[in-house]
Structure formats: structure tokens, C-alpha cells
Amino acid sequence: MILRVFGLSFAITLAALVTAFLYGGWNGLFICVILGILEISLSFDNAVMNATILERMSAFWQKMFLTVGILIAVFGMRILFPLVIVWATAGLNPGQALDLALNPPNPETPDNPSYETIMLEAHPQIAALGGMFLLLIFLDYAFDSDRRFWGRMVEPGLARLGRINNASVIVALAVLLAGSMAVDGDERATVLTAGLVGMIGYLAISGLTSLFDTSEVGREAAAAAELAGDGRGRPEPVVLVGKAAFMLFLYLEMLDASFSFDGVVGAFAITSDPILIALGLGFIGAMFVRSMTVYLVRAGTLAQYRYLENGAHWAIGALATILLVSLAVEVSEVVSGLVGVGFIGASLISSVRANRTERQVAH
């Protein structure tokens, strides 16, 4: 099964490495390998979170995620997104932005900022938009009382706070306001606007998904899934089709894009070459994230490790916090990667212990 799931990723990785060598020699090959490792290490929690959503989608929409979705991930986020940022912040059209990236100006001419400089200057907008989108995902999870709790203190306490109407939106707006106060006055309005765009995007997509998911058929399927759970308190996922599946697909792409923000921005600490970024982050990193997602779904990993979904949501909360903290303090991408892996690892250990205890009680 591993070869069947990861075979295409290995083939594309080999092709990307050959292309990187032909394009930039040994230096280009080395940078491409580093970028691929960076994206994979930062995105394991992304794969887990994607899997929790993908298992609710029909076979058709799963294929859409693996085909159209990968095109969006590679060309949309790893190639077009940086060009759009440069276009929006520097007044350059995408063609001029690409030319600037491929032909950097003389560093001794401050009046002509480089592609890398423009991207880094746009970090506050990127961090605010992605951070608020991810924060609402975490808050909606944390304040939900109708789920399995990981631990006996923190998650039950947060769920009790969720009894307050619109608790997640209230907290998110308070965090956005505090984050905007941490930046210079010239950037405050920009951060507020970007953060609100991230919130609106999440609320719109999740609201429409819930609307289509609460049809009579959806309620009956949910009730049946609750009865046919996995025996550990986790209901069988309700497979969505039609409009509900389409909205869930959009939600998944937005989630995937938000996770990729730190990787894209972090890549500019290594290189500003858009070709190498696309090869390393997109064709290698994004493909392996897709393969890991599919493997988790087909292997039934989420059902086997009961707290894995909880750990993924806490990793999302940590990444959202890191993005928002980075508005005022520079945070290394290594930190965000290690924190995410830490939560996933802790949830795996908790799941193994719970399964062992359950088996001992049964015998």
C-alpha cells in the first residue's frame, strides 16, 4: 500500500530533483532538497488535519483534492501566491514580479527592492490572514463540547467556555485587535483588514458547508454514523456529496493554503528563486503532504489513534499563535515545525496508552 500511495510522489520528486539540477546545478539541487525537507517537516500536522476532512468526502471529491487540489497547491500557493503578493504590495504586475524574481536587482541600489524584500515586507498581511483563519478553526474545535476530549482538564474547560454564544468569534476579534496593536501605526489598518478577510473566509466557507450538511439526508446519515461508531466514542465520518462536498473541498483548500504560509515565507530565507521554490515546496513537499493524507485515510489511522485529530487541532492552534506572534517578534520556521510535530507525537502516545489500557480492561 505504501508504494501505491507514495509511488507518484517518489516519481515526481525524482523529476523535480533532475529539473533543479539542470536549472541550477548542484547548488540548485541542494536548495531544492532543503526546501522539500522544510515543507514536509512543517506539514505533517497539515496532512493529519487534511485526513480528518478528506475522509468525509466521496471518492470523486477525494480525487479532486489529489488532482485539482495539487494544481492549486503547487501553482496557486507556491508560484502565483508570491507573485500576487509582490503585485499587490509593490505595484508590479505578475510578469514584472516574475522578472524581478529571476533577475534580482543590484543589492547596492536601495531604490529597487528585491523580490525577497517585498515578500518579507508583506509578512504582516500574510500572517494576519492565515493566522486568523487557523485560529478560528482551533477555537471552534476547542469550544465544541460534542466530541472526545484529550485530557481531563484543559479541553473540558474550554468546552464549557464554548457555551457562550459566538465565543470563538469574540475571542478571535480580541486576539486580532491585540495583534494589530503590536505593529506600527502604518501597518495597523493593513493587519486588521487582512485578519478580517481571513475570518470572513473561514466563517463563509464553514457556514455554507454546515448549511448544506444539515439537510434531512445529512441529519439521518449523521444519526446512523453516531450509532455505527468505531466503539471508542468516535462516530463514523459522514460522507458528503454535492454542494456540501464542494464547500468542504473549498474549506480544505483554504486550510491547506493557510498551512503553507509559513513554508512559503520561510523559503525566502533560503532562496528567492521562484523556480526552486516551486520545485522544492510544491512538486516535492506538497505532493508528499497529499500522499501522507491519503495514507492516513486508507490505513484508518484516525480511527486507530483516537487522539490524533485532537493533536492536529492543537497543532493548528499553535501555528495560528506563532503566525500572530510573528507580527511583533520574528519566529523561526523550525519552531513552528517542532511544535506541530510535538502535539502530533503527544497525541499518538496518548492514543497508544489509551488503546493499551482498553485492551487490559477487556481481558
Which of these, 337, 363, 168, lies nearest to 263 by C-alpha position? Answer: 337
Q: Residue 102 and residue 183: Cα distance in Å, rounded?
A: 31
Going from N- to C-terminal start, the domains of the chain cover 2-362
Beta-strand ranges (E) seen in the chain are: none
Q: Residue 46 and residue 48: Cα distance in Å, rounded?
A: 5
> 57 forms bridges with which residues in the sheet?
240
Q: Tell me the pLDDT tens digit for each residue of 47-94.
A: 887 888 888 777 788 888 877 877 777 777 777 777 777 777 666 776
Q: What is the pLDDT along the chain (363 residues), one digit of tens a residue?
A: 677 778 888 898 999 999 999 988 999 899 888 888 877 776 777 788 788 888 877 778 888 887 787 777 777 777 777 777 777 766 677 677 777 777 766 655 556 677 677 777 778 888 888 889 889 989 988 998 888 888 788 888 888 888 888 899 999 999 999 988 888 877 888 899 989 988 998 888 777 767 665 443 444 444 444 444 444 444 555 566 677 778 788 878 877 777 776 667 667 667 767 788 888 888 888 888 888 888 888 877 777 888 888 888 898 888 889 888 988 888 776 777 778 888 888 988 998 888 888 888 776
Q: Residue 42 and residue 127: Cα distance in Å, rounded?
A: 16
Contact 290, 66 (CB under 8 A): yes
Q: Which three cell numbers stand for residue 264?
A: 512559503
Angle CA 341–345–351, to nearest 5: 150
pTM equals 0.75
